[in-house]
């Protein structure tokens, strides 16, 4: 299983409880694809560089996700289908070995 870094921008009209529910839904999606969300860091609400779907700001969350490589495409598809998400950035996490 590989580790990935997922930055998610949620719609700003969601309150903290709704963002937690959305993160739980992402966790369930990852579990159904034989993966898991290792950690999540809620950065909070920030102004966007440009307008996205009529919003000028968004709620940023950065997560570390472990997924089998063959399930990454399906996980990304599920992210695109989520109406509460404005943007995502999904990258392979770099592992630093000393």
Q: What is the pLDDT of residues 62-76, one digit of tens each?
A: 999 999 999 999 999
Look at residue 93 and give its three-state secondary structure: coil
- Two tokens, residue 50: 């440009």
88: nearest Cα among 52, 56, 54: 52
Query: CATH number of 2-92: 2.60.40.10, 3.40.50.2300, 3.40.50.300, 3.30.70.60?
Result: 3.30.70.60
- pLDDT tens-digit map of 22-38: 999 999 999 999 999 99
Give the N- to C-terminal CA distance of the chain in Å, as an integer: 21
Model confidence at 97: pLDDT above 60: no
| CB contact at 8 A, 27 and 61 | no
Distances (CA, A) of 39 to 55, 65, 83: 27, 7, 22
Average pLDDT, the chain: 90
| CB contact at 8 A, 53 and 86 | yes
Model confidence at 57: pLDDT above 70: yes
């Amino acid at each position: 299983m590989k580790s990935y870094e997922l930055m998610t921008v949620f719609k700003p009209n969601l309150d903290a409880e709704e963002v937690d529910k959305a993160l739980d839904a992402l966790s369930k999606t990852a579990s159904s694809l034989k993966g898991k969300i290792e950690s999540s860091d809620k950065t909070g609400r920030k102004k966007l560089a440009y307008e996205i779907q009529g919003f000028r700001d968004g709620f940023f969350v950065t997560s570390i996700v472990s997924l089998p490589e063959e399930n990454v495409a399906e996980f990304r598809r599920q992210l695109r289908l989520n109406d509460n998400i404005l943007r995502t950035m999904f990258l392979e996490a770099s592992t630093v070995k000393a």
